[in-house]
């Protein structure tokens, strides 16, 4: 019996017991012409990658670790916002499966009770004129427990199980693909302004005091909004800084 009700996302599924990183496999497939909507999913990643050169814990069968290949028509300039689109879709799916207070920490971590449940790493291949492909890499912790992965929890991770919620990985993957497909259609038909509004409504960052960390420098301010490009606007009291994802990390002040 099928649980997947998407039109296109997940139509081709490459399943792997173990791989270094599903993003790398997906990139290889995309270079060879894999269709939009194809996904690569692994039980385990031996060197899962995160944003800002960090690693990402991806232990065997303790979560869903997958990458989705997209070939959008929108302009390369719009591509950076697709990572916010991903966060919107994943957040909705997570909320619908028993964690109603899940929220997005800018730009794209999904947090539950102040802890990180989901990480998203979006990678792009494009010329000035045209996007070749986007790889949306998504990792969702389902079964990880503090006792088995103390380091991950020390770094602020959580999982469905640690939050007291049982979820089937199959059901979760189907729900995520379905919400991603919906939000992708929103971007294509209504434009990114609508996606950004949806992001605002799911965010736990806006209105908060944050510390912006730029290498060895940092400053604090209030996260007041995101702009039309998805950059975070941080009011320091003297000025409003525009923070670009990728260069910085933000923490509670």
Q: How far is the CB of 101 from ligand BTN (least distance, A)?
A: 19
The span from the CA of 231 to the CA of 250, in Å, is 12
Nearer to ligand BTN, 12 or 222 (CB): 12
Maximum distance among all Cα pairs of the chain, rounded to whole angstroms: 59
Which pairs from 213-216 meet CB under 8 Å and 24+ separation? 213/248, 213/249, 213/250, 213/251, 214/247, 214/248
What's phi and psi for 86, nearest 5 deg?
-60, -45
Q: Please enumerate, by residue number, every residue annotated as part of a binding site.
A: 21-23, 45, 49-51, 116
Q: How far is the CB of 122 from ligand BTN (least distance, A)?
A: 9
Cα distance from N-terminal residue to C-terminal residue, the chain: 48
Residues that bind ligand BTN (CB under 6 A): 21-23, 45, 48-51, 54, 56, 58, 65-67, 119-121, 137-139
Q: Please enumerate, by residue number, every residue annotated as part of a binding site for biotin.
A: 21-23, 45, 49-51, 116
Q: Which residue is nearest to ligand BTN (CB)?
A: 119
Nearer to ligand BTN, 150 or 156 (CB): 156
Task: Name the CA radius of gyration of the chain, rounded.
Answer: 17
Q: How far is the CB of 40 from ligand BTN (least distance, A)?
A: 8
Q: How far is the CB of 25 from ligand BTN (least distance, A)?
A: 9
């Amino acid at each position: 019996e099928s649980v997947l009700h998407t039109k296109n996302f997940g139509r081709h599924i490459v399943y792997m017991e173990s791989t270094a990183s599903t993003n790398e496999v997906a990139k290889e497939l995309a270079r060879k012409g894999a269709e939009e909507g194809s996904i690569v999913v692994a039980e385990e990643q031996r060197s899962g990658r995160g944003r800002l050169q960090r690693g990402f814990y991806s232990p065997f069968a303790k979560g869903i670790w997958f990458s989705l290949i997209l070939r959008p028509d929108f302009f390369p300039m719009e591509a950076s916002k697709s990572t916010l689109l991903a966060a919107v879709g994943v957040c909705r799916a997570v909320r619908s499966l028993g964690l109603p207070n899940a929220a997005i920490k800018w730009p794209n971590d999904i947090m539950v009770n102040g802890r990180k449940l989901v990480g998203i790493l979006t990678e792009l291949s494009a010329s000035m004129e045209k996007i070749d492909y986007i790889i949306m890499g998504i990792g969702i912790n389902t079964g990880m427990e503090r006792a088995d992965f103390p380091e991950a929890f020390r770094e602020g991770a959580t999982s469905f199980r640690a939050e007291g919620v049982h979820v089937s990985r199959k059901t979760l993957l189907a729900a995520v693909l379905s919400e991603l497909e919906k939000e992708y259609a929103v971007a294509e038909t209504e434009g990114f302004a609508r996606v950004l509004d949806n992001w605002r409504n799911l965010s736990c960052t806006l209105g908060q005091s944050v510390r912006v960390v730029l290498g060895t420098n940092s400053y604090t301010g209030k996260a007041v909004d995101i702009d039309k490009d998805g950059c975070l606007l941080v009011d320091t009291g003297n000025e409003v800084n525009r923070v670009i994802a990728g260069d910085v990390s933000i923490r509670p002040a």
